[in-house]
Amino acid sequence: MAETVEHEPLRIIEAITPPHQSTIIFLHGRGDNGNNVAPFLVYTPINSDHSETSRRNKDITLRHLLPHTKFIFPTSLKRRFERLRNDIVFNQWFDIDSLDITDYYDDGQVEGIKESTDYIHELIEAEVEAGTPPEKIVIMGLSQGCATGAVAVIRYPVRLGGFVGMSGWLPFITEIEDIFKKEGEEEEGDATAVLGYIEKRLGSDKEVSPENVREMLKTPVFIGHGVGDTKIRPKCGERLKDVMKAMKFEEVVWATYRVGHWWCDEELIHIAAWLGAKGFSVNGLEQFMEDSIGSLSTQEDLFHFVHANFTDSLY
């Protein structure tokens, strides 16, 4: 049960270069907040292991790589850790009992997941009403923010610009995996069954239509995970990836990185390149290409490389 009823004000970082063409809505992890995580994502310089490149790129940030993108950082409501039955209250998109077994105590997750994903949909709609087309809006999340974002994207009936999940998982994963065992290999039946299960589990009266499912499956997906993540094991990210592939999302990219429960510079570079391959405006990626991926001569080469080859682990 949420202890607060209103979300904190959004932390909004406008596009560094007008005009504003796209928006990333970033969802923080459990116990964090949007205001705190924002500078780490958009203001921290992206460096390289090579000192010469680091000096050359010392002022380049994700905001520079995506110059026409606005970043929105919402904050979850404060929720009580119900299983402890005490007064511990902190920011979390939904209550969860165990990060080792993420689908344990599923019933306690329902209220938060529904409220949080409905809230994310409101943020998307506000951007659309302000003039940003949905195909230029990206949902991006870390840890529990990834888990929440994944459900928000599955529940959203329109193609978005992308979903980027980092070091996260999918709620209700065991029950959802069981759906595929029952439904078989139908073209759209599995995705429709998954969405129907989620809406029913959340007590939602949203209509589940084949048309909405077809649009939802057009949203491209990028899932990254640190091989050294001891908080949310890489297997959790793999299961999320496998479910989205089984649902027949048109594109699901999976990549692992030499990092723990966080992102790394290479991951941000690859995400920017991936978005560039989707038509988002990017700038300056060629400065990182030799260190990040290999001897590619132009930014366009990097886009083509990512689009053609970026389907498995990079490491």
Model confidence pLDDT, tens digit, residues 21-70 = 999 999 999 999 999 999 999 999 997 554 444 445 568 999 999 999 99
Alpha-carbon dihedral 154, 162, 41, 286, rounded to 10 degrees = 160
* Average model confidence (pLDDT) across the chain: 86
In a domain, 298, yes or no: no
| Residue 139 Cα distances to 4, 19, 120, 123, 265, angstroms | 24, 20, 9, 10, 19
Instruction: Please report, for the domain that includes residue 146, its CATH number.
Output: 3.40.50.1820
**pLDDT per position as a tens digit, 159-212:** 999 999 999 999 999 999 999 887 555 545 689 999 999 999 999 999 899 999
In a domain, 314, yes or no: no
Alpha-carbon dihedral 9, 15, 18, 20, rounded to 10 degrees = -70
In a domain, 210, yes or no: yes
Above 60 in pLDDT, residue 309? no
**pLDDT per position as a tens digit, 125-153:** 999 999 999 999 999 999 999 999 999 99
pTM of the complete model: 0.88
**The predicted structure's pLDDT at residue 280:** 97
Above 60 in pLDDT, residue 252? yes
In a domain, 137, yes or no: yes
Residue ranges making up the domain that contains 69: 11-284
Above 50 in pLDDT, residue 312? no
95 or 262: which carries more pLDDT confidence? 262
In a domain, 311, yes or no: no
* Mean of pLDDT values over 11-19: 98
What's the CA gap between 22 and 20, in Å, rounded? 6
In a domain, 105, yes or no: yes
pLDDT level of residue 295 (50, 70, 90 thresholds)? very low
313 or 126: which carries more pLDDT confidence? 126
Dmax of the chain from CA atoms?
Answer: 58
In a domain, 305, yes or no: no
Above 80 in pLDDT, residue 255? yes
| Residue 185 Cα distances to 182, 206, 246, 281, angstroms | 9, 25, 8, 37
In a domain, 231, yes or no: yes
Alpha helices in the chain (DSSP H): 34-42, 51-56, 62-65, 110-129, 144-155, 173-183, 189-201, 210-216, 234-246, 265-277, 289-292, 299-309
* Mean of pLDDT values over 98-103: 59
What domain count does the chain have? 1
* Mean of pLDDT values over 12-24: 98
